[in-house]
Amino acid sequence: MGRRKQVLQTAVSVLQSLSIPAVGFDGDVRMQEDAARVVESTFKHFGKIDILISSAAGNFLAAAEDLSTNGFRTVLDIDSVGTFTMCHEALKYLKKGGPGRDSSSGGGVIMNLSVTLHYTATWYQIHVSAAKAAVDAITRNLALEWGTDHDIRVNGIAPGPISGTPGISKMDPEGVGSKSRDEMPLYKPGEKWDIAMASLYLVSNAVRLIQHPH
């Protein structure tokens, strides 16, 4: 799901070239009607929904004193409200006994992508820090409520700087500088593959088997 059709089509084409049965739907996570339409369309296409990954994000550099209320709200709408909206619309498909799901197999899985900016403080990122702190809170609360009530696993990953991503190009267009590298584990930024593999593990049945060995 994405707002830019060309980017969406490119992603689908890459997945299909790897023999992955992918399909793309254009939509804006800030719009409840878009979220409902895309989730329903996904269910109709595949017959069930096992996993939801929320990774939509908005970001730009802005000093707090220069940041408009509208700019602050826009990032919260994309990151925080968008994450909650997608989770809420997917709930009936993810919970055990939901459409296309055998109640004996348990519930589905949600993965929310966050950041580490709000763990301390980051220059010119008050809007993103607030939005991603909310995503972390959403993840914890849904893990408590929906894990207990519906056997839905809700996990989160908070990447640091990841090379080759729009976040890096916007935040550090010159590339990660030597000062930043000195503050990184292994003295280098992470790779997209790192996050992909962490996500794959956390949404896999391996985690469920560890949690419920019997």
Mean pLDDT of 134-155: 97
pTM as predicted:
0.88
Superfamily designation of domain 49-158: NAD(P)-binding Rossmann-like Domain (3.40.50.720)
Question: Which pLDDT belongs to residue 201?
Answer: 94
Is residue 146 within 8 Å of 95, Cβ to Cβ?
Answer: yes
Compute the average pLDDT of residues 68-83: 97
Which stretch, 75-79, 122-126, 163-167, has highest mean pLDDT? 75-79
**183 phi/psi in degrees, rounded to 5:** -95, 0
- Sequence-distant (6+) residues with CB within 8 A of 29 are 1, 35, 54, 56, 78, 81, 82, 83, 85, 86
Q: Domain segments of the chain: what residues?
A: 49-158
45 backbone dihedrals φ, ψ, rounded to 5°: -75, -45
Is 94's pLDDT higher than 80?
yes
The answer, yes or no, to whether residue 135 has pLDDT greater than 60, is: yes
Least confident of 5-9, 65-69, 158-162: 158-162
